[in-house]
């Protein structure tokens, strides 16, 4: 390609991108089709990603992290997502949610206890906010935490927990207010839950449309005693911590979506150059060229918005608004790009002989999890109207 590099890379960024790209090419891409077909999660990925530093990308070096900026993390994530969105969601959730929540709101003791092992890939992190009856309306969650001596007892069920079946650390939100004095979003705590706690169990693994190689499970807390030292920060601020963290998590999902969209574009370019109809490669037809041009434009626009938002975050500015825009734009780009890729491939796009149908199935969830597209629009509109 002859166009300018819109986001020139630093030496460090090029190095990290190469590490992720090589890992994706050698360890992930050759297996992605089979993992999807068999809905198989290769547990050895956790240790391998950890060994490369890809599970502690934004953690400080004192906790065995790479201490990188957000943009560099997102570049690596896009590389992994372009090979396999299932592996990318593990990396996104782990790096953006539980590790960052402990780093930001944890005590020194909690940070020392969990973060180095999370960075090295010895403990995988998960995030448990949603419940069967609390999805977009996350503050309506009902899992109850009751004080029990110097600790807590938790009762309830969590749903849609990414890699919850393999996590060593789960940051779970539970009500700390009482049924006679409900305090809404201000009556929820965040707890560090480990699977060894009595009363913890992993429930059903979901049979999903896409991201089939990423286990999504429900969790049950049955009179589960959580030691007092596992409470994260203030017992009534857990929902706020979770939403603040989701502002960052949504950047990871945007990078994942852009990786899926980029893979759809690259496959489409190669196929369009090769496939001949009416005596010409189909890439010579404007109907196909326009699709390719639109895909490329949206991917570059999405990446620019995402990187500008990542840089704003690293400058310490609030990113709720632009984080929601980044995730919304990137996920709709992934859905459009994969839909167009199937159209370019025609019948071959509709069968499992080519990877574009997997990309299409994987793209859909980026419009749903970590806040649906409708919730992102709510967040954006509230910011706009609030600032009038």
Out of 109, 131, 370, 374, pick the active-site residue: 370
For ligand CAA, the closer CB: 43 or 61: 43
Which secondary-structure segment (H or E) carries 151? strand 151-162
Tell whether residue 139 is a contact of ligand CAA (CB under 6 A): yes
For 9, which DSSP code?
P
Of 103-111, 124-132, 275-283, 303-311, the window that binds ligand CAA (rule: CB under 6 A) is: 124-132
Find residue 151's DSSP bridge partners. 148
Of 239, 255, 59, residue with least CA distance to 131: 239
**C-alpha to C-alpha distance for 119 and 100, rounded to whole angstroms:** 11
Cβ(225)–Cβ(198) below 8 Å: yes
* SS3 (DSSP) at 35: helix
Find residue 181's DSSP bridge partners. 178
For ligand CAA, the closer CB: 7 or 183: 183
**C-alpha to C-alpha distance for 145 and 188, rounded to whole angstroms:** 9
Smallest distance from the beta carbon of 63 to ligand CAA, in angstroms? 22
For 316, which DSSP code?
T
Tokens of 114: 């969990």
Find residue 232's DSSP bridge partners. 190
For ligand CAA, the closer CB: 39 or 139: 139
For ligand CAA, the closer CB: 94 or 153: 94
For ligand CAA, the closer CB: 9 or 185: 185
Of 199-207, 286-294, 295-303, 367-375, the window that binds ligand CAA (rule: CB under 6 A) is: 367-375
Tell whether residue 295 is a contact of ligand CAA (CB under 6 A): no
Is residue 15 annotated as part of the catalytic site, yes or no?
A: no
Tell whether residue 243 is a contact of ligand CAA (CB under 6 A): yes
Tell whether residue 377 is a contact of ligand CAA (CB under 6 A): no
Smallest distance from the beta carbon of 256 to ligand CAA, in angstroms? 10
Per 3-state DSSP, the chain is made up of helix, strand and coil in percentages (nearest 5) of 55, 15, 25
**C-alpha to C-alpha distance for 269 and 283, rounded to whole angstroms:** 8
Smallest distance from the beta carbon of 385 to ligand CAA, in angstroms? 12
Tell whether residue 364 is a contact of ligand CAA (CB under 6 A): no
* Interface contacts to ligand CAA, rule CB under 6 A: 93, 127, 129-130, 136, 138-139, 160, 162, 185-186, 240, 243-244, 246-247, 320, 369-371, 375, 378-379
Catalytic amino acids? 370
């Amino acid at each position: 390609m002859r166009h300018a590099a819109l986001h020139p890379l630093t030496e460090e960024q090029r190095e990290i991108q190469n590490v992720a790209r090589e890992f994706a090419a050698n360890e992930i891409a050759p297996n992605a089709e089979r993992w999807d077909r068999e809905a198989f999660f290769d547990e050895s990925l956790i240790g391998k990603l950890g060994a490369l530093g890809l599970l502690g990308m934004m953690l400080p070096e004192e906790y065995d992290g790479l201490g990188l900026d957000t943009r560099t993390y997102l570049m690596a994530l896009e590389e992994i997502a372009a090979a396999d969105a299932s592996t990318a969601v593990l990396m996104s959730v782990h790096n953006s949610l539980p590790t960052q929540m402990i780093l930001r709101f944890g005590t020194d003791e909690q940070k020392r206890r969990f973060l180095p092992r999370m960075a090295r890939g010895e403990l995988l992190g998960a995030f448990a906010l949603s419940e069967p009856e609390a999805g977009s309306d996350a503050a309506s969650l009902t899992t109850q935490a009751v004080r029990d001596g110097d600790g807590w007892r938790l009762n309830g069920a969590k749903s849609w927990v990414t890699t919850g079946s393999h996590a060593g650390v789960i940051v779970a939100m539970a009500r700390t207010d009482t049924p006679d004095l409900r305090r809404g979003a201000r009556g929820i705590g965040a707890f560090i839950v480990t699977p060894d706690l009595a009363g913890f169990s992993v429930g059903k693994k979901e049979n999903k449309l896409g991201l089939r190689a990423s286990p999504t499970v429900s969790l049950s807390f049955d009179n589960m005693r959580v030691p007092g030292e596992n409470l994260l920060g203030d017992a009534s601020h857990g929902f706020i911590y979770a939403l603040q963290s989701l502002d960052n998590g949504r950047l990871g999902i945007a990078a994942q979506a852009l990786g899926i969209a980029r893979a759809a574009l690259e496959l489409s370019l190669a196929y369009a150059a090769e496939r001949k109809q009416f005596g010409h490669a189909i890439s010579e037809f404007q109907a196909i060229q326009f699709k390719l041009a639109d895909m490329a434009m949206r991917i570059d626009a999405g990446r620019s918005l995402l990187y500008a938002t990542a840089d704003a975050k690293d400058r310490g500015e609030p990113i709720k608004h632009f984080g929601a825009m980044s995730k919304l734009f990137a996920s709709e780009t992934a859905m459009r790009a994969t839909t167009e890729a199937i159209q370019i491939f025609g019948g071959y796009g509709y069968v499992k002989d080519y990877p574009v149908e997997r990309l299409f199935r994987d793209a859909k969830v980026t419009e749903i999890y970590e806040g649906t597209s409708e919730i992102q629009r709510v967040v954006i509109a509230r910011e706009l109207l609030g600032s009038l």
